[in-house]
Amino acid sequence: MALQPGQSAALVEARVVDAGQSPLVRVCALLNAHGAAYLIVGARACILHGHVRTTEDVDILVPEDVANHARVIAALSELEDGAARELTPQDLVENVVVKVADEVEVDISTRAWKVTYAEAAPRALRAEVDGVSIPYLDLETLILSKLTHREQDRVDVEFLRRLARPR
């Protein structure tokens, strides 16, 4: 969904609801219920900014905080297969990215490329999708998080930069 002249990004983001986001809603509802601190990054954040693209996983950025890691693990342990029950908070300390392969594949990161939760959180945006509050990277920080060597990230950055241009 592209911005219309005079329309704020927040308004567009709050209206993004489709069947493809049900894994996002599921993951966020669980994380919210457990009081976990997190931000949506990656392709799902691009989608929330209006970039139509496909993805199957949900990428989350979390603070480097062992107590929060325990809340994230508890939340994701409620997914259908309970795959996250095998994790410990120390796993999130020792690895930049931890993949949880469950009914929804979730990548848990303490860094999104060079961006940390502490850097991103003050500028984060929120959308409500199907009654669930979803915190995600603002446009500028999302672009910074995608300045990688991956081809898909280059495509995403090109689109996101067009969104960021004043009209």
Q: What CATH number is given to the structural domain containing 53?
A: 3.30.460.40
* 118-129: burial string, b at 16+ Cβ within 10 Å, e else: eebbeebbebeb
The sheet carrying 57-61 orders its strands as: 97-101, 105-109, 57-61, 39-41, 132-136, 125-129
In whole angstroms, give the CA distance from residue 60 to residue 34.
15
Residue 107, in any domain of the structure: yes
Residue 78, in any domain of the structure: yes
Dump pLDDT digits (tens) for 25-42. Answer: 999 999 999 999 999 999
Residue 1, in any domain of the structure: no
In whole angstroms, give the CA distance from residue 13 to residue 3.
9
| The pLDDT value given to residue 167 | 72
Dump pLDDT digits (tens) for 97-114. Answer: 999 999 999 999 999 999
Residue 165, in any domain of the structure: no
Could you tell me which of 108, 110, 127, 118 has the C-alpha nearest to residue 25?
127
Domain total for the chain?
A: 1
Residue 167, in any domain of the structure: no
In whole angstroms, give the CA distance from residue 110 to residue 145.
12
Contact criterion met (CB below 8 Å) for 40 and 108:
no
Residue 105, in any domain of the structure: yes
Dump pLDDT digits (tens) for 42-95. Answer: 999 999 999 988 999 999 999 999 999 999 999 999 999 999 999 999 999 999
Report the predicted TM-score, pTM, of the whole model to 2 decimal places. Answer: 0.86
Contact criterion met (CB below 8 Å) for 97 and 109:
yes
Domain carrying residue 32: 9-159
In whole angstroms, give the CA distance from residue 66 to residue 73.
10
| The pLDDT value given to residue 83 | 98
Residue 4, in any domain of the structure: no
Residue 166, in any domain of the structure: no
Q: Where are the alpha helices (DSSP H) in 16-150?
A: 22-33, 42-48, 66-76, 89-94, 117-120, 139-145
Per mean pLDDT, which range of 12-16, 62-66, 161-165 is the poorest? Answer: 12-16
